[in-house]
Amino acid sequence: MGWLQRYARHIWLLQRIVDVVLAVVILWGLTLVFRTQFLPQPYVILSILTALVMWPVFGSTSIYTSYRSEHPAATYPRIWMAWASVCMLLLLVGYITQTSVLFSRLLLCSWFVITPFALCFHHLKLRLLLRKLRATGLNSRKAVIAGTQALSQVLAEQFRDSPQFGLQFCGFFTEEPLEAMTEIKTKPLIGTLEELPDYVRRYRIDVVYIAMAVQESTKVSKLIDALKDTTVSVYFVPHITAFSLMQAKVQNFKGVPLIAISEIPIITSEVVAKRITDIAVAVGTLILTLPVMLGVAIALQLTAPGTIFVKQQRYSFDGKPITVYKFRTIKTGQTHSASQPTFSCIGAFLKKTGLESLPQLFNVLLGDMSIVGPRPQLLAHHELYRNHAGRYRLGHEVKPGLTGWAQIHGLYSEYETQESLQQRVAYDIDYLQNWSFWLDLKIMAKTTLTMLKQQNAYD
């Protein structure tokens, strides 16, 4: 299948080398920007030490594992965590050896920040290139499906609709004798399970997906035993699509495989990355918008004297009420809990642009909220939400957000119709089911564009 097929196993080794070289080159470039002398001796030593530290640290992660069905940006949190580990080790060495004074702090801080962005960009380009090459047939893997049930057909359709994964689907193998199948729905149908091992050897099949019901455990066991003598990769596709999966993942408990149907998030690299991002974005936004917030406070006092901020009780991720902060947008003498409040002149502007929610950045810093997540609900609306979607309570397993998936789709009003309420719940559940670090970045980018267009994106 060409050079990519022949040398596919060496691509990630080369990428690992490129990552080290890229980090060192960025350091060298910064010495030109910050210093008159190119590569003074301390920075040469730092370059060598960086290479020695990066190689084992980055290699101990799954950064260089090619998951074909994984989003190209899914490695971002792992890259950030690995680079943070490298930085901490380098700082520790500098502290122990008392050599940190030899380096420019501004240069090191710039290097620590710029490098992970460059690494992420380079990995994204590589994975997108691999997807394009796989879509043309390069580095493809031959795959068959054992089983002819509805789940098997869904899986085959995913293969056909996703050429970028590089899976060349050959056909199905049935659990039943061919003569017993009066109607063939799955095509192409190659043969029976008994014929599968021989077919794998003869046509050099790379992957076998077993998509059979749990009741067929005996047949599944026999098939797996028969495939042990081949070099094929075998994946079992459990028939659990009848369940509503919330961040479902496979875990291992002392050799016993477990499928997490729903769980409260624990400390993982992505969760840590999300919290670090929350703090960084909140601090950065507060610094940038401080003049705006001061201007809003002055305008509120001049046009509608009274309190500048209002406090509202809402539900947090664990079902407990939290206090969220907003700029006051209604006229003096009214409450935000009114069914149809009258907005002040400046309040209408704040509502339209979403600036009324800027004080909630302090909620993010306190850890009550996240930058992205399902919006926290008013206490008066909580029971209404629960009545419309019993699964919505699972939304409390993540922190409520300053913005969310529903908001960028135009569902922002507190005074919702029954239809829009159901739509918002559907978007919130969709976000929870498909949450990723990349999705959060996408929502933040779209929220920024929405605010620049002066469209209401918050409730």
Query: Same domain for 20 and 85?
Result: yes
For residue 257, count other CB atoms closer than 10 A to its CB. Answer: 10
Query: Same domain for 364 and 398?
Result: yes
Displacement of CA 356 from its chain's centroid (Å): 28
The answer to whether residue 206 is domain-embedded is yes
Query: Same domain for 379 and 364?
Result: yes
The answer to whether residue 8 is domain-embedded is yes
CB 185 within 8 A of CB 145: no
Query: Same domain for 126 and 148?
Result: no
pTM, two decimal places: 0.49
Query: Same domain for 388 and 303?
Result: yes
Query: Same domain for 219 and 193?
Result: yes
Query: Same domain for 149 and 131?
Result: no
Q: Which of 187, 227, 229, 191 is nearest to 209 (CA)?
A: 227
The answer to whether residue 425 is domain-embedded is yes
At 103, give phi and psi (nearest 5°).
-115, 150
What is the CATH classification number for the domain harbouring 186?
3.40.50.720
β-pair type (370-372, 401-403): parallel
The answer to whether residue 373 is domain-embedded is yes
Domains in the chain, number: 3
Query: Same domain for 21 and 160?
Result: no
The parent domain of residue 320 ranges over 269-452
Query: Same domain for 47 and 170?
Result: no
Q: What is the pLDDT along the chain (459 residues), one digit of tens a residue?
A: 444 444 455 676 788 889 999 999 999 998 888 875 667 888 999 999 999 989 888 877 777 766 555 666 778 888 888 898 899 989 988 888 888 888 888 899 999 999 999 999 888 888 777 777 666 666 677 888 888 877 788 888 877 777 767 777 888 888 777 665 555 566 688 888 888 989 988 888 888 888 887 667 788 888 888 888 787 888 887 765 544 444 555 555 555 555 555 554 444 556 777 888 888 888 888 888 888 889 888 888 887 777 888 888 887 655 677 888 888 887 665 555 555 666 677 777 877 777 888 899 999 998 888 999 888 877 666 655 555 554 444 444 578 888 888 888 877 655 556 677 778 878 887 887 777 777 888 898 888 887 766 544 444
Query: Same domain for 152 and 129?
Result: no
Query: Same domain for 15 and 60?
Result: yes
| DSSP secondary structure of 68-135 | TTS-GGGGHHHHHHHHHHHHHHHHHHHHHHT-GGGS-HHHHHHHHHHHHHHHHHHHHHHHHHHHHHHH
Residue type, 346: I
Choose one of 79, 101, 135: the last residue of a domain: 135
Token pair, residue 376, equals 């926290």
Query: Same domain for 418 and 280?
Result: yes
CB 408 within 8 A of CB 447: yes
